[in-house]
Amino acid sequence: MPTYEYECQVCHERVEAVQRFSEPALTTCSSCGGELRKVFSAVGIVFKGSGFYKNDSRSPAPSSSTPAAPAAPAASAASPSVTTTSE
């Protein structure tokens, strides 16, 4: 059963009540007889299971077996060779 919080409009006293959905809301303050209003506040949300985290929806990381960038071409017979001579 949910817990509801009410605040008196006259004396500003806050009251918590555990009520069923089918029960009518509280309307009068027990201490001063003023009008009660429901207080709405933020609700904590907890996500459980897979699919809720940033890393759950990422594509798999590239494997380390992917080919590396092509190496510099080796010297071939077609390219001129440079020789140094000392005189």
The string of pLDDT tens digits covering residues 19-58 is 998 999 999 999 999 999 999 988 888 777 766 666 666 5
Residue 72, CA distances (Å) to 13, 66, 75, 80, 81 in order: 80, 18, 9, 16, 16
Q: Pick from 52, 53, 2: which is nearest to 25 by CA? A: 2
Distance, CA of 84 to CA of 18 (rounded, Å): 96
Per DSSP (E only), the strands in the chain are 3-8, 14-18, 36-39
* Cβ(26)–Cβ(17) below 8 Å: yes
pLDDT of residue 55: 64
Give the predicted TM-score (pTM) of the model: 0.49
